[in-house]
Structures are given as structure tokens and as C-alpha cells.
Amino acid sequence: MPSPQPRSVTVHELSRTDARRIAVRAQLLDAARPAGLLDVVRRLTLLQIDPTAAVAPTADLVAWSRLGSSAYAPADLTAALRDRTLLELQAMIRPAEDLALYRAEMAEWPERGTPSSWREYHGKWVAANDACRRDILDRLGASGPLPSRELPDTCELPWRSSGWTNNRNVTKLLELMVQRGEVAVAGRRNGDRLWDLAARVCPGTPAVPVTEALRVRDERRLRALGIARARGPECPVEPADVGEAGEPAVVEGVRGKWRVDPAQLGQPFEGRAALLSPFDRLIHDRRRTLELFGFEYQLEMYKPAAKRRWGYFALPVLYGDRLVGKLDATADRKAGIFKVNATHEDEPFSKDMTAEVGHEIADLARWLDLELIRPE
């Protein structure tokens, strides 16, 4: 019998406009607003946690940009974390049911997604401090939830880093114990994480086998991004690539191969104006942002003030399927004002653009419950 012929695979040919619209719609930033916070997190798969709140905490800002001031309040996120509908996992807020996709990987720690040299160091460092790990588990078992400062530091081998984690032994050990599935964030008190045994925090859903879990996570990530690279550099916590999920595509004028969510192909598009967090997943992959949107962006909070082009925490401005500028603004809660320092236009704003972006700025000030102060 003749051998079966390989099935031909259609490679979708997309314009940059097609690709941008797929990305915007997948990220729930088109005109069709999502139903509520849980719908947002399930569709995006995550909200990133970052302590910077020059305007608002990133998780809240991402939720607001999708839902608007009339449909979202930070108390909604607090309540969802309190009732464990959403969980905090490695500085990401995820739907509680998604924990099943990480359990098997926790069991085979050291973690995936980081360079092998880091994995080797993490394994050796945790083994060297096994006594401290057991002390932490005992203390949490007896008295949790607790902040890290109330947990014993009996590490024999200090954590060494050139960054801010240097010698922060308990904090680093706790974060690695999260990856091992031993502890979890049970909540927050005045911004500080409260730690407890994972068995008391996380739902007892059975683990999805690693191979299947990675496949499902790739598929869900592609659904959230719409279009992404099949392969990319290793990234801690959340990759930017999607493996073999979706279907192959090429984008006109952009080198390389892409994967696209077939459910997004051929869909109508109606855009709107939106202000984005610097950590928003639409622009998180800076290479993809430049290739598809032609949009250059850097978070400049770590630069000296004199070297900033756009501002300390400039918000990218989306209009339809284009990223058209950056908003330099600050929330001064003590003074009760939301101050717009400048709007940097990557392309001249039309009258309609100015009006719609202005409406979003006013909605943001209203959501923050601050008086809007514009440049004179």
C-alpha cells in the first residue's frame, strides 16, 4: 500500500493591519467590552503584578483599560483574590482553575522557562538551605498566614545577586517554594504578601500531566495574544512564544514565522481608544510591538529624569489598531489630582483622535477619583 501523504498545512498570509487587529481583539481592546473582571482574566490568562503605582497598580490598570470606570473597581480584584476565584502565582494573578496546569510542573521542579544554569543554581541553593525551608513550613503550619519578616532566616548559604534580592534569603526561598508547590500567597496586608501552606490556599484540583499542560498553556496564551512567535528566548514565569499552538502564518513585511489563532481570522474589527499599562500584554513583547505596530517603547522609570523621552511611567496610547503615542501623567493622591504632563504624539492626532483619547484620560481620572489637571 502506498504510504499516506502528509497533510498540507495552510500558511495564512496576513497584512500588518490584519495582524494588529488580531492582536488588539485578542487582548480585549477593541470596541466590544468584556463582561467583567473574571472574563478578562480568563481570556488574558493573567494579570501581572508590579508594585509601581505612578498612575495605578498594573493589574488594576489592565483591568480598567478593558472594562472602564463604570464596570471595574479595584475592590473587585481584592474580593476575587479573597474568595480565591483568582490566585496569585509567581507575581501573576490567574484564574484559580488554571492551577491544575502548573501542579505537575511544580512536582518536577527545578522550574522550566529559565536558563539551565539558573535551574542548577536554584536546585543547589534550596538543597543547601533545606533546614530553613523546613523551619518555614513548620512556622506556617502552626501560625500562617504570615508576612516574610515573621518567618525565620536560618539559611546557611546566603542568596547572592547583583540586584535587589541580594541576601533576601527568606523572600527568595519562599518564591522558590511557590515553584515547588509548597507555599502560596494567601493574601496581602498593606501591600505585603501573606504566606501560607499551599494546601490551605490552593484548590485541590488534580494535576494535568506536564506535556498536556504545556500544550494547553500554549493554546491559551495564543488565544490571549492572537498572534505570536512559535519560538523565542526563555522567559521566566510567562513565555512570549506559543510553540505549535494555532496555525502557521506570515506577516507582510515582517521576517520570520508566526502562529495565529484561527478563531481570530476573518473577524470584523471595530476599534476604540485605550490607555495601556507599560506592562500590558499587547506591548509586553517589545520586538513584536515594533514589528507589528511600528511602535517604539521603553519604560523609562529607571532612567535619569533628564534622559527620559516620554516620562517616568508613560502610558502607551492605542487608537483602533495603531499605537499612536504615549501619555505622561501622574496620580498625586495626596494632592487629589491626576496631572497630565504631556501627550507625546507618534503621529499627529486628528480631531476625532484627540477627542476619544481625551475621553479615556477623563475616564481614568474619574476611576482614580482624582481631579484632572491638563497642561495649560
What tens digit of pLDDT does each residue of 271-324 get? 999 999 999 999 999 999 999 999 999 999 999 999 999 999 999 999 999 999
Of 276, 208, 218, 279, the residue nearest 243 (C-alpha): 218
* Cα torsion angle, 143, 145, 147, 152, sign: positive
Q: Could you tell me the residue range of the domain that residue 317 belongs to?
A: 272-373
Confidence of residue 224 (pLDDT cuts 50, 70, 90): very high
Per residue in 99-152, pLDDT (tens digit) is 999 999 998 887 666 666 678 888 899 999 999 999 999 999 999 899 999 999
Q: What CATH number does residue 118 fall under?
A: 1.10.10.10
Cell numbers found for residue 362: 477623563
Return the pLDDT at 166. 61
309 found inside a domain: yes
Q: Which of 201, 219, 235 is the last residue of a domain?
A: 201
Cα 78 to the chain's mean position, in Å? 17
The alpha carbon dihedral of 83, 85, 89, 91 has a sign of: negative
Residue 231's φ and ψ, nearest 5 degrees, are -135, 150
> Three-state SS for 197?
strand
- For Cα atoms 111, 116, 118, give the angle at the middle one, nearest 5 degrees: 75
pLDDT at 287: 94
Q: Which residue has the cell 494579570?
A: 47
- This prediction's pTM: 0.92
Can you tell me which residue has the cell 488554571?
98
List 185's β-bridge partners, or say none: 195
* Helix, strand, coil % in the chain, rounded to nearest 5: 40, 20, 45
Q: How far apart are CA 112 and CA 88, in angstroms?
A: 19
Q: Which residues of 336-345 are buried (b: 16+ CB within 10 A; e: fewer)?
A: ebbbbbebee
Q: Is residue 65 part of a domain?
A: no
Using an 8 Å Cβ cutoff, are 144 and 195 in contact?
yes
What's the grid cell of residue 20?
494588529
Domain boundary among 163, 182, 201: 201
Alpha helices in 226-322, H assignment, sequence order? 286-293
**pLDDT tens per residue across span 159-216:** 987 665 666 899 999 999 999 999 999 999 888 999 999 999 987 888 999 999 999 9
Q: What would the grid cell of residue 94 be?
A: 490567574
Specify whether 281 is located in the same domain as 364. Answer: yes
Does the residue 170 lie in any domain?
yes
pLDDT of residue 114: 63
Quote the number of domains for the chain.
2
Q: Is 158 part of any domain?
A: yes
**In this predicted model, which residue has the larger pLDDT, 9 or 334?**
334
Q: Tell me the three state secondary structure of residue 217.
A: helix
The residues pairing with 228 across neighbouring beta strands, listed in sequence order, are 259
Contact 173/195 with Cβ under 8 angstroms? Answer: no
Sheet with 86-89: list strands edge to edge.
47-48, 92-95, 86-89
| pLDDT tens digits along 57-103 | 999 999 999 999 999 999 999 999 999 999 999 999 999 999 999 99
- How far CA 216 is from CA of 21, 190, 331, in Å, comes to 24, 35, 39
CA 33 to each of CA 86, 113, 280, 322, 324: distance values in angstroms, whole numbers, following the listed order: 20, 33, 17, 18, 21
| Inside any domain, residue 80 | no
Helix (H), strand (E) at residue 96: none
**Backbone region of residue 328 per phi and psi (left: phi > 0; alpha: psi in -120 to 50; beta: other values):** beta
Q: Could you tell me where the DSSP H helices lie in the chain? A: 16-26, 37-44, 58-67, 74-82, 100-107, 116-128, 130-143, 169-179, 198-201, 210-225, 286-293, 351-368
Residue 112 belongs to some domain of the structure = yes
Residue 54 cell numbers, joined: 505612578
Identify the burial level of 307 via C-beta atoms within 10 angstroms of its C-beta, where 0-12 means exposed, 13-18 middle and 19 or more buried.
exposed
Assess if residue 364 is contained within a domain. Answer: yes
Residue at 226 is within a domain: no
- The residue among 146, 169, 201 that closes a domain is 201
Q: Are 132 and 155 in contact (CB under 8 A)?
A: yes
